[in-house]
Amino acid sequence: MHSHHSHSGQFCRHAAPGTTLEDVVLAAIDAGFTTYGLSEHVPRYRKEDLYPEEEDLSPSDLLATFIHYLHEAHRLKLKYSAKIDLLVGLETDYITPLDITQLERLLSDKQTAGLVEYVVGSVHHVAEQGIDFSKDWWEACIGSFSTHDNGSTPPPPPSQTQAFTNDLAYLHAYLDAQHTLITRTHPTIIGHFDLCRLYIPQLPLNHPSLPGVWEKVVRNIREVVAYGGMFEVSAASFRKGWQEGYPGSEVLQCIIANKGRLCLSDDSHGPAFVALNYTRLRAYLLAQGVTELWYLASNTQENNNDSNSNSQVRGHDGSSRSVTGTIAQEGTEDTRSERSWLDLQQRKLTARRYDGNWADDPFWTRLAERERRNNAEMAT
């Protein structure tokens, strides 16, 4: 089984302190993963965009740390290649247009270009304000879109669903930022699609009191489907108090209806979080009728000859496209030649469909046994 999204305390200050990237890799091997994606955050490029725990750092420090991560990840990929297929990627931050420009530069720069194998495209900020660092930050961001009493008094926190539905501008801004990220960079995988409702998961994005929001959800999904990207279904939501995975059920069903590719992620932030809540994720996927999963694999001769790595998909405009990894082609013309730095074949990865019934993979039995053993040890 696989996961495509993870972090370590060594390279991410809001992950488990004192943990290394190798600790995460060893935990993934112990959990029984056959494929595991490493995806530390890209640097941020303005001092004001650093998080509180990074106050002693500069943007140049973050860049140096990120380059160190890439080299360490490839060292571990080689060291443990007989035990696990490690993928070396990154997770985006999109705060201002500068972040996309720098991402493009990072993926084409000679120092880093050959080291990044895939991109997890995520939005963590709206109107330059963080939305997942804390509930206070999220409420402040929501409040910045609200107008109450002509601004003479601060808006109430959006703790109730009906109050939240009045803040349409926030949802539209999030989905527009996500659309920009999607269309500018064509991420290999879309991370936590509906993070915008982190603290109010019960709010359906297709609710009739949210005019225009669902149309933008569908727009973004279809953009990703058209170029052959994947959508992570993440177990991280459960540790945030959700009863469903990211994305929520109505968004997940829309992805399925549009023939989107689904892959799995634990979004671990240290070894203790590796495979956390994966049994709940499996139950969620089964309840939603998910029958097909995809994953990324390091290229071997077998991968390259695998018929599952190339498939015909139909875009939302009705056109048939041949997709290899995340590269959409019509005929022999590469429709994304200007973004060749995201070509999975150049990045030495292949997108593969899980062969057989994913829910019957022995990984799940081993994971359940491991959880029972851990629970028994905690009880003694």
Average pLDDT, the chain: 83
**CB neighbours of residue 46 within 10 Å:** 12
Residue 137 lies inside a defined structural domain of this protein: no
pLDDT score of 274: 94
**CB neighbours of residue 225 within 10 Å:** 23
Full-model pTM: 0.85
Query: For 31-47, what is each residue's pLDDT tens digit?
Result: 999 999 999 999 989 99
Residue 130 lies inside a defined structural domain of this protein: no
Q: Is the pLDDT of residue 195 over 70?
A: yes
Please indicate whether residue 346 or residue 278 has the higher confidence score (pLDDT): 278
Residue 284 lies inside a defined structural domain of this protein: yes
Q: Shortest CA distance to 296 belongs to which of 366, 347, 222, 363?
A: 347
Residue 155 lies inside a defined structural domain of this protein: no
pLDDT score of 9: 82
Q: Parallel, antiparallel, or unpaired: how do β-strands 268-269 and 294-298 relate?
A: unpaired
Please indicate whether residue 320 or residue 158 has the higher confidence score (pLDDT): 158
Bridge partners for 7 per DSSP:
269
Phi, psi of 251 (to 5 degrees): -70, -45
Element (H, E) at 235: none
Please indicate whether residue 291 or residue 270 has the higher confidence score (pLDDT): 291
| CATH of residue 256 | 3.20.20.140
Bridge partners for 155 per DSSP:
none
Q: Cα(172)–Cα(240) distance, rounded to whole angstroms?
A: 23
Query: For 289-336, what is each residue's pLDDT tens digit?
Result: 999 999 999 986 344 434 344 433 333 333 333 333 333 322 323 333
Residue 71 lies inside a defined structural domain of this protein: yes
pLDDT score of 314: 30
pLDDT score of 230: 96
**Residue range(s) defining the domain that contains residue 321:** 2-120+170-203+216-379
Residue 209 lies inside a defined structural domain of this protein: no
Q: Cα(309)–Cα(296) distance, rounded to whole angstroms?
A: 9
Contact indicator for 193, 252 with CB cutoff of 8 Å = no
Structure tokens at 56: 């002693």
- Looking at the structure of the chain, the number of domains it has is 1
Structure tokens at 195: 């993070």
Element (H, E) at 285: helix 278-287
pLDDT score of 93: 86
Residue 153 lies inside a defined structural domain of this protein: no
